[in-house]
């Protein structure tokens, strides 16, 4: 069990359990965390992972772009996701002591379109179905209200990071490395900031799967055996996203295999392309830390990329600061985002804001999410 203080809470809480569900841009499965809130602390008491069937991942990838009968396909996928989410919640429920119950589920859903510049975002989810399957209140659709208020709708986890990871005398920055990488800057003075800073695992995973058959490059070993292609790296880093000032967010709509293929030249060895993609992710992260979080003393990592040894080694070369996993702060690197959506669900039920305008660019604080009462 891990336990972390909730710095901004002013009153003691009775013991409450919330479930947080997160399925991100890596499209690998559902991360579920059972979070206990009590006495101004946040404790992750149990975790569960439910992998996506390979055919589901392929369908989700197809739904990222317009296709025949996509509306019906998306709704059928949402029902399938509800069953997987319910399976994950059941695993959490099985860990509860007799008499304990889950107050609510915070379910992010599976993003297939994120276009805040056009005023919308789309996460596949069927929270009504999930509420029926579990009998538990579900909070979902966290991003839309922030976008309606002029924000990016992402990242949303910085508000949680600020509550559980901020330090009174040490300037910390939290780095989540999922398919996309995002930063939360927790300065000693001034506004908290947070933004997507570039690629994480998204292109590395896709390229590795295409050329090796593996779902991901274990520990970055394949990339570590290659050589960075300097002209390709320059082309990738020239994307205008990297010159855009925060707040900003991105996803597969902007960075995908079709985009990568346009930058490739005949004769590029696949392993060298992988080495370049790792450097691309590392440089995007390091450049953003240096530019927008320049006084950072400690960088704490979460997300699947926190296990990529070659990527972490490169970050340590680029950034002369303390770099470690969030495990050292009390929440395992694999479960921070899921725990964040448990916290966001609690904020919603207590009619408290879940966004940070300084992070998303929204016109003000907003209570996020839609509530689906349990059966």
CATH assignment of the domain containing 116: 3.30.420.40
* pLDDT value of position 39: 81
How many CB atoms lie under 10 A from the CB of residue 278? 26
10 Å Cβ neighbour count for 321?
15
The separation between the first and the last C-alpha atoms of the chain, rounded to the nearest angstrom, is 30
Please tell me whether residues 315 and 189 are part of one structural domain: yes
167 plus 132 within the same structural domain: no
> Rg (Cα) of the chain, in Å, rounded?
20
Which domain covers residue 191, as residue numbers?
A: 158-329
Q: How many domains in the chain?
A: 2
Residues 31 and 76 in one domain: yes
Cβ atoms of 22 and 304 closer than 8 Å? no
- Rounded to 10 deg, the angle between the 336-349 and 158-165 helix axes is 100
My answer on whether 192 and 303 are in the same domain is yes
Same domain, 152 and 188: no
Distance CA(115)–CA(117), nearest Å, equals 5
- What count of other Cβ atoms lies within 10 Å of the Cβ of residue 3? 15
| 317 in the same domain as 289 | yes
Which residue has tokens 């589901």?
Answer: 56
**Does 64 share its domain with 162?**
no
Q: What is the pTM of this model?
A: 0.90
Do 151 and 114 lie in one domain? The reply is: yes
Shared domain for 142 and 14, answered yes or no, is: yes
Write down the pLDDT at residue 66: 87
pLDDT of residue 6: 56
The confidence score (pLDDT) of residue 41 equals 87
Q: For residue 334, give the 3-state DSSP assignment.
A: coil
> 125 near 140, Cβ under 8 Å?
yes
| Rounded Cα distance, 316 and 311, in Å | 9
Q: Which residues of 200-237 are buried (b: 16+ CB within 10 A; e: fewer)?
A: bbbbbbbbbeeeeeebbbeebebbbebebbeebbebbb
* CB-CB neighbours of 57 under 10 Å: 17
How high is the pLDDT of residue 5?
Answer: 53
Reading the block at residue 317, the tokens are 């070369």
Tens of each residue's pLDDT in the chain, 375 residues: 455 655 444 444 479 999 999 998 888 899 999 999 998 789 999 999 999 999 998 999 899 888 888 999 999 999 999 999 999 999 999 999 999 999 999 999 999 998 999 999 999 999 999 999 999 999 999 999 999 999 999 899 999 999 999 999 999 999 999 999 999 999 999 999 999 999 999 999 999 999 999 999 999 999 999 999 999 999 999 999 999 999 898 888 899 999 999 999 999 999 999 999 999 999 999 999 999 999 999 999 999 999 999 999 999 999 999 999 999 999 999 999 999 999 999 999 999 999 999 999 999 999 999 999 997
* pLDDT (0 to 100) of residue 271: 98
Pair 181, 43 in one domain: no
Residue with tokens 């007799």: 98
Cα–Cα distance measured from residue 331 to residue 63, given in angstroms and rounded to the nearest whole number: 33
Q: What is the DSSP letter of 176?
A: E
Domain finish residue from 314, 329, 344: 329
Q: Are residues 205 and 283 in the same domain?
A: yes
Beta strand 137-140 with 180-186 is unpaired
**What secondary structure letter does DSSP report for 119?**
T
Same domain membership, residue 248 and residue 127: no
């Amino acid at each position: 069990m891990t336990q972390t203080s909730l710095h901004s809470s002013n009153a003691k809480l009775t013991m409450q359990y919330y479930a947080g569900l997160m399925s991100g841009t890596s499209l690998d499965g559902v991360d579920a965390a059972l979070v206990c809130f009590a006495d101004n602390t946040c404790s992750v008491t149990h975790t569960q992972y439910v992998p996506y069937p390979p055919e589901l991942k392929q369908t989700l990838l197809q739904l990222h772009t317009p296709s025949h009968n996509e509306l019906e396909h998306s709704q059928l996928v949402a029902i399938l996701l509800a069953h997987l989410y319910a399976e994950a919640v059941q695993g959490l429920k099985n860990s509860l002591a007799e008499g304990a119950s889950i107050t609510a589920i915070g379910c992010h859903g599976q993003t297939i379109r994120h276009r805040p510049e056009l005023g919308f975002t789309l996460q596949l989810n069927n929270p009504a179905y999930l509420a029926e399957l579990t009998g538990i209140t579900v909070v979902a659709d966290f991003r839309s209200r922030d976008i309606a208020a002029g924000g990016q709708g992402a990242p949303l986890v910085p508000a949680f990071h600020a509550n559980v990871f901020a330090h009174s005398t040490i300037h910390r920055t939290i780095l989540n490395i999922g398919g996309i990488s995002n930063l939360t800057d927790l300065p000693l003075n001034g506004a908290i900031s947070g933004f997507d800073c570039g690629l994480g695992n998204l292109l590395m995973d896709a390229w590795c799967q295409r050329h090796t058959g593996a779902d991901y490059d274990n520990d970055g070993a394949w990339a570590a055996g290659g050589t960075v292609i300097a002209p390709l790296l320059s082309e990738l880093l020239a994307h205008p996203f990297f010159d855009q000032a925060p707040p900003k967010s991105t996803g597969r709509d902007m960075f995908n295999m079709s985009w990568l293929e346009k930058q490739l030249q005949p004769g590029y060895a696949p392993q060298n392309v992988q080495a370049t993609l790792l450097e691309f992710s590392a440089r995007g992260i390091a450049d953003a830390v240096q530019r927008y979080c320049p006084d950072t003393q400690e960088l704490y990592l979460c997300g699947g990329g926190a296990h990529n040894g070659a990527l972490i080694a490169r970050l340590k070369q680029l950034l002369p600061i303390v770099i470690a996993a969030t495990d050292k702060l009390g929440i395992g690197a694999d479960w921070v985002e899921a725990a964040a959506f448990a916290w966001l669900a609690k904020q919603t039920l207590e009619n408290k804001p879940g966004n940070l305008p300084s992070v998303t660019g929204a016109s003000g604080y907003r209570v996020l999410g839609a509530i689906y009462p349990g059966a």
